[in-house]
């Protein structure tokens, strides 16, 4: 049996609306929103009785998604959004963009802050990390031709 694809990456947020707007500005499309609840959902996550608002954001090429979740019950128990880039665990999502400067300008209007600086790697890429809504760490990469 072969792996088919990576379907989505899940991100837990507090402000679902602002986070949707931010990822729309990057270029993702809102595929749908729903409230997930019931004992079947709790059996999957191991959280028991849960109620979660989700939004599925689709990549423009249709080959990947971000699942944004806002937990109503049970409450969120930990917060690692401001962990440094060398912290253990999931780190960030990296997006390939056409123009890193133009993308940064648009995202700053949604509260994005540059973590370090925009750097160039050889003649191949311009790269940076930003903190998006709620401190989420996002990478941007512009391929140089």
The span from the CA of 16 to the CA of 64, in Å, is 19
Whole-model pTM: value is 0.88
Identical fold between 8-73 and 93-143:
yes
Instruction: List the chain pLDDT tens, one digit each, 145 residues.
Output: 787 788 899 999 999 999 999 999 999 999 999 999 988 888 888 888 899 999 999 999 999 999 999 999 998 888 887 788 788 777 789 999 999 999 999 999 999 999 999 999 999 999 999 999 888 989 999 999 8
Separation between Cα atoms, residue 53 and residue 43, nearest integer Å: 17
Residue 46: per-residue pLDDT: 87
Task: Give the CATH number of domain 93-143.
Answer: 3.10.180.10
DSSP 133: G
pLDDT at res. 36 = 92
Measured in degrees and rounded to the nearest 5, phi and psi for residue 20 equal -60, -45
Note the pLDDT of residue 81.
78
Name the superfamily (CATH) of residues 8-73.
2,3-Dihydroxybiphenyl 1,2-Dioxygenase, domain 1 (3.10.180.10)
Q: Is 30 helix (H, G, I), strand (E, B) or coil?
A: strand
**Residues whose CB is less than 8 angstroms from the CB of residue 7 and which lie 6 or more positions away in sequence, other chains included:** 64, 65
pLDDT digits (tens, 9 = 90+) for 45-62: 888 889 999 999 999 999
Q: Where are the domains of the chain?
A: 8-73, 93-143
Whether the CA torsion 92, 97, 101, 106 is positive or negative: it is negative
């Amino acid at each position: 049996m072969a792996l088919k694809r990576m379907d989505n990456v899940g991100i837990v947020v507090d402000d679902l609306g602002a986070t949707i707007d931010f990822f729309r500005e990057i270029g993702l499309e809102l595929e749908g929103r729903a409230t997930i609840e019931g004992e079947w959902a709790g059996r999957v996550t191991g959280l028991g009785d849960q109620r979660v608002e989700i939004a599925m954001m689709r990549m423009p090429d249709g080959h990947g998604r971000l699942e944004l979740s806002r937990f109503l019950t049970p409450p969120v128990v930990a917060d690692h959004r401001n962990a440094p880039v060398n912290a253990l665990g999931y780190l960030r999502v990296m997006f390939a963009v056409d123009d890193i400067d133009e993308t940064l300008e648009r995202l700053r209007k949604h509260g994005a802050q540059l973590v370090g600086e925009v750097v160039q790697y050889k003649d191949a890429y311009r790269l940076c990390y930003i903190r998006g809504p709620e401190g989420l760490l996002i990478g941007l990469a512009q391929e140089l031709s």
